[in-house]
Structure 1
Amino acid sequence: MKWSAKPIVHKGEKRIGVYFEKNTELIARIKQIEDARWSQQKTVWHIPDTEENRIRFKITPLSQTIPSEEAQVQIEKFKQWMRSKRYSKSTIVTYCEALKSFLLFYREKAIAAITNEDVIIYNNDYILKNNLSASYQNQIVNAIKLYFKTIQDTKIEVDKIPRPKRAKVLPNVLSKEEIKLILNAHNNLKHKMMLSMIYSCGLRSGELLALQPVHIDSKRNIVLLKNSKGKKDRIAPLSPKILEMLREYYTICKPTTYLFEGQTKGQPYDSRSLQLILKQALTKVNIKKPVTLHWLRHSYATHLLESGTDLRYIQELLGHNSSKTTEIYTHVSTKSIQQIKSPFDDL
């Protein structure tokens, strides 16, 4: 049974990701480890990043992953600077871990002596050698650039730090028929309501869980999304059908602080439980695709585009900074492609 393990950061928390092909015996063994969890988002089992677990999975012990005293001071300065600029907690953790990885690689070298050439060597001898992803490399580059631009005065020329080419990955989209099956899979009103809200308004899961009853404006048929990604507020339209479902839900469930609360009144619904709701829906309707909650948002955008909604409006509805981010949906829309006649038909 082949498996691999490596340290990861999941939702701002240091964890160890354990990777293996689906195997009931390994899953059972992982579950026996305290606080072992499955991440639908990263599709990996993960456990606490402790000395014991590192030894168990043959990862370099924490005692050997401590950067130099100078590096520790600089990482703390970087952290405080990001806090003062109100960077999100998860971004601060991710960037500090990325910078730590880089400075650990040059543990014996003074930070002021680090050059652009050292960044290239790190990319080749650490990231590529360990088959780490381009997205991880981008995180490292982002952290290095920000740190050397704001905190450290060195020989590095920030604008010349090489960045890997991004893979052009298309968003995953479900058909309207598949969406309908998923949204109708649950009899539980709250479960059905949460999945329906994500699709009908194109929400990120975090945006859904942060919603409060006061954010629903039934007179204007809109939902106010406060402090979304990038610390921006935006509004999304509420369909009459969703508004009707919300009224029924509110009457029965009587939410207080948050629109969707867990077992404890006044506390938001748990994100892992929300992922489980989707997983259960997929099982019920026998959809085998590795659907995530974000697929519902992608599907909302694509279905809007296919129904003739202007890209500029979709960009506003999704809260994208750049129109280029929204334009990716033109590559998965099948409206025009389906009208193209294959030359095979004329043979």
Structure 2
Amino acid sequence: MKNYILEFENYLIVKGLSQNTIKQYKPIIGKFLLKHPEPLTATNAEIISFLIKRGQARTVQQSHGALNHFFLGVLDSHAISKVPQPTASEFVPDILSEIEVHQVISTITNLKHEAIIQLIYSCALRIGECINLKVTDIDKIKNRIKIKNGKGGKDAYIPIPEATKNLLRVYYKKYRPEVYLFEGQNSPKYTTSSIRQILKRAIKKANITKNIRVHDLRHSRATHWLENGMDIKFIQKILRHKKPETTDRYLHLTTLSLENAMFSADKNIQLKFKKPATSQFLNAG
């Protein structure tokens, strides 16, 4: 079993998957091997049974992905191709308004905590990308941060808004981090659970009843960009989505943003309708 796990991890590294994905996939294969120590003897029915017991649709889909890599990359078997790919139900996240984001950040009195939450929101970062940022990943000259080995194993550069850049400057002068930008009290870097607690307390203090996760700050930022007129192609680039459909799926246009888009388009088109006479209009019908 240990050999299988090691081979699996090495395969995923060579494949170029992110450390976060590898961390999620390894336990799945570990649980599968506990049930089937000789995985090549597992039948389609047994594989399907394992997937069904994984729980919700998204978890089943993730497990299918892990098994797909394991069977093809480690076992050199196409058995998994006969198992249908599950379709995850559409997840609609809660979105904070721009005012609510300001309210949440305003409740945070700890400078480091404020810098973490504001950076995640303003640069639309994933929580793992934030905690793995190093001091050397901040480009002070070009005002951008480098995301190393992000989702999909690719590097990316994200511009830093002026207000966030100034906050990070104040934070750095006070805390002087040496390796990771956000160091933990008893660990080299901050933990995901600590960041979740920071946001949870801030949400409660701001009297917001929405079910907001840290990742919803990213959703909120993308939605605000869209509502304020940013081209969705630029949003896709910043969010580092391979397919435009991924961006479209969770950027939920509000009625206001649709009205604004229509109003702007009509101004550009400069439609000229013939205005009816007042008497004709009043007497119509």
Determine if the TM-score, normalized by the shorter chain, exceeds 0.5: yes
Residue number in structure 1 paired with 2:191: 270
Question: 1:60 maps to what in 2?
Answer: none
Q: What secondary structure is seen at the aligned counterpart in 2 of 1:199? A: helix
Report the alpha carbon displacement of residue 197 of structure 1 after superposing the two structures with TM: 0.8
Work out whether residues 145 and 161 of structure 1, in 8 Å CA contact, stay in contact via their aligned partners in 2.
no
Give the equivalent residue in structure 2 for 1:136: 59
Alpha-carbon deviation of 1:97?
Answer: 3.6
Quote the offset at 1:239 in angstroms. 1.6
CA distance in 2, matches of 1:239, 1:112: 52
Matched, 1:163 2:88: no
Match of 2:120 in 1: 198
Mean Cα deviation higher: 171-180 or 71-80: 71-80
TM-score, normalisation: structure 2 = 0.78
Asked if the contact 2:18–2:150 (Cα under 8 Å) also holds between the matched residues in 1, the reply is no
Which runs of at least 4 in structure 1 moved beyond 6 Å after TM superposition? none
Q: Kindly state the Cα deviation for residue 176 of structure 1 after the two structures are TM-superposed.
A: 0.8
1:147 match: 70
CA contact (8 A) 2:219 2:251 kept: no
Residue deviations 1:145-188, cap 9 Å, x none?
2222233355x554332011221112331111110100111122
Contact 2:54 2:63 in 1 (8 A): no
Percent identity, please: 34
Shift in alpha-carbon separation, 1:122–1:289, aligned structure 2, 3 A: same
Q: Which amino acid aligns with 1:295?
A: D
TM-score by length of 1: 0.65
Q: Output the CA distance in 1 between the equivalents of 2:99 and 2:159.
A: 22
Answering whether residue 25 of structure 2 is matched by residue 95 of structure 1, we say yes
| CA RMSD of superposed structures (Å) | 2.9
**SS of match in other structure, 2:146:** strand
Name 1:225's counterpart in structure 2.
147
Helix, strand or coil: the match of 2:88?
coil
Is residue 207–residue 228 contact of structure 1 (8 Å, CA) maintained in 2?
yes
Contact 1:105/1:122, CA 8 A, preserved across alignment = no
Aligned pairs for 1:205-244 (under 5 A) are 205-244=127-166
**Aligned pairs (5 A) from 1:107-118:** 111-114=39-42, 118=43
Q: Does 1:251 align with 2:173?
A: yes
Question: Is the alpha carbon distance of 1:148 and 1:214 closer, same or farther for their aligned partners in structure 2, counting shifts above 3 Å?
Answer: closer
Question: What is the 5 A alignment of 1:71-86?
Answer: 74-75=4-5, 77-83=7-13, 85=15
Asked if 1:288 is matched to 2:209, the reply is yes
User: Separation in 2 of the partners of 1:231 and 1:122?
Assistant: 28
Report the Cα offset of residue 203 of structure 1.
0.9
Which of the pair is proportionally richer in strand? 1
Aligned to 2:239: 318
Three-state SS of the structure 2 residue aligned to 1:298 is helix
2:220 match = 299
CA 1:94–1:268 in structure 2 vs 1: closer, same or farther (change >3 Å)? Answer: closer
Separation in 2, partners of 1:153, 1:259: 41
Unaligned runs of 5+ in 2: 262-285
Deviations 1:172-225 (A, max 9, x none): 311111101001111222111111111111111221222233322233222222
Letter in 2 for 1:324: E
User: Residues 224 and 235 of structure 1 are in contact (CA less than 8 Å); yes or no, is this contact kept in structure 2?
Assistant: yes
Q: SS of the counterpart of 1:227?
A: coil
CA distance in 2 between counterparts of 1:220 and 1:76 reads 40
Q: For 2:176 and 2:2, how far apart are their aligned partners in 1? A: 49
* Distance in 2 between residues matched to 1:227 and 1:111, nearest whole Å: 30
Offset of residue 102 of structure 1: 4.1
1:176 aligns with 2:98: yes
Could you tell me which residue of structure 2 aligns to residue 119 of structure 1?
44
Matching residue's letter, 1:81: Y
**In the alignment, is the contact (CA less than 8 A) between 2:94 and 2:210 conserved in 1?**
no
Aligned residues: 261
